[in-house]
Amino acid sequence: MTQIRTAAEIELIRKSNLLVSETLAEMAKWIKPGVTTEQLDKIAEEFIRDAGGIPGFLGYQGYPKTLCTSVNSQVVHGIPSALALKEGDIISIDCGAILNEYYGDSAYTFAVGEIKPEVKRLLETTRESLFKGIEAAVAGNRIGDIGFAIQSYCEERGYSVVRELVGHGLGTKLHEAPEVPNYGRKGRGPKLQEGMVICIEPMINMGRKSIIQEADGWTIRTSDNKPSAHFELAIAIQKEEADVLSTFEYIEKELKNIE
Ligand code: MF3
Ligand code: CO
């Protein structure tokens, strides 16, 4: 069942999400050639605990780490390891945290040093498609309107949308109803109501849409091994434009400082 949250609950969910946004901004400082995804994971776990939070993914269905770190052709759910980042890589960092029993959940795909222009365009398009989805996420519209906005934006630019993994409701559980696909048809699916809190998280591939699961039982990668990008924000549905509960502002301010 889809939860409708009170204004007070939404403020708590915002706090959890802003902690995740701050954690991702901390990651921006450390992402460079040579750093391992395991090191990033340790820093993120400490950052969340220092703020009084609990890592939201750790132990979720047996997941072993704080972050999902998905590099290049990995789409999502990459497990932090001794793998060192190198110049030209992209890395999706997906992070969850619990504060006051409410979850935050957000993801950002970072460039490691200089990346190819065509990969940069994939990142920009995926990020922008998330905001197109958010624009469609107003009370009275339907879930399919969000997916349609994302899918049409990305496909018009030559990219493909992963079908098997979707966004979700967010609150006292990491994954609540409804499912929020990144593809769809206008006017289809459950109606969006004021007070619903959802995560929108386009996973967009440069090549074909098909994915496979790696042997570790978690990591999802593109079947053609071409790059994939992933951006995620949590929003509360309102009558007019959505209230965005997580933010990329902290991350992008860090990235500007580093430039
Ligand atoms: N952020 C991912 C999502 O939005 C959750 C991954 S949690 C994991 O669905 F523990 F399964 F990795
Ligand atoms: Co999510």
Q: What is the pLDDT of residue 98?
A: 98
Q: For position 45, which CATH number holds?
A: 3.90.230.10
pLDDT digits (tens, 9 = 90+) for 196-218: 999 999 999 999 999 999 999 99
- Cis peptide preceding 178, ω within 30 of 0: yes
Burial string for 191-227 (b: 16+ CB within 10 Å, else e) reads ebeebbbbbbbbbbbbbebebeeeeeebbbbbeeebb
Cβ of 68 less than 6 Å from ligand 1: yes
Residue 118 lies in a domain: yes
pLDDT digits (tens, 9 = 90+) for 1-48: 899 999 999 999 999 999 999 999 999 999 999 999 999 999 999 999
How far apart, in whole angstroms, are the C-alpha atoms of residue 17 and residue 104?
4
Test site for ligand 1: of 74, 105, 130, 162, most ligand atoms within 8 A of the Cβ = 105
Residue 2 lies in a domain: no
How far apart, in whole angstroms, are the C-alpha atoms of residue 164 and residue 70?
16
Number of domains in the chain: 1
Cβ of 145 less than 6 Å from ligand 1: no
How far apart, in whole angstroms, are the C-alpha atoms of residue 35 and residue 25?
16
What separation in angstroms does the CA of 114 have from each of 15, 37, 86, 118? Answer: 33, 18, 10, 12
Beta strand 203-205 pairing with 160-161 = antiparallel
Amino acid at 74: Q
Which residue segment(s) compose the domain that 231 sits in? 7-258
Residue 218 lies in a domain: yes
Residue 200 lies in a domain: yes
Cβ of 58 less than 6 Å from ligand 1: no
Q: What is the pLDDT of residue 259?
A: 78
Residue 159 lies in a domain: yes
Residue 178 lies in a domain: yes
Residue 1 lies in a domain: no
Q: What is the pLDDT of residue 84?
A: 98
